[in-house]
Copies of this chain bind each other. A is one copy, B any other.
Amino acid sequence: MTLADTPEPPYVAVIFTSERTAAAAGEDYARMSAAMTELAARQPGYLGMESAHQDIGITVSYWRDEDSALAWKQVAAHQAAQQRGRERWYADYRVRVARVQREYSRSSSDFAD
């Protein structure tokens, strides 16, 4: 997992944060997670993904526009993973859909403002 190289804004970020159950420590969760990461990367409008898990899990996926983010949400295999997540893996979660308006990086002088 490295940082996503997204294009110039605007684009869409889907911020998924979760508290996982003990069941999420299992093999089936790891398999689903890897499969969804790979499947997302093949969707139209996919721009990148960043993910980390410690006390809570955070996955931010980046999309060209709202339509491509929504289309990914509705891909059948992803719907099945979401369903299983609600049933087994997530004690709690939030999904926030946001429009990225500005981006700074290490090399950006804007950040020093």
Contact = CB atoms under 8 A, between A and B. Distances in A.
Interface of A is mostly: strand
B98 A100 contact: yes
A92 to B, nearest CB: 5
Nearest to A110: B95
A103 B17 CA distance: 11
B13 A98 contact: yes
Interface residues of A, number: 40
A31 interface: no
Contacts of A111: 82, 95
A34 interface: no
A58 interface: yes
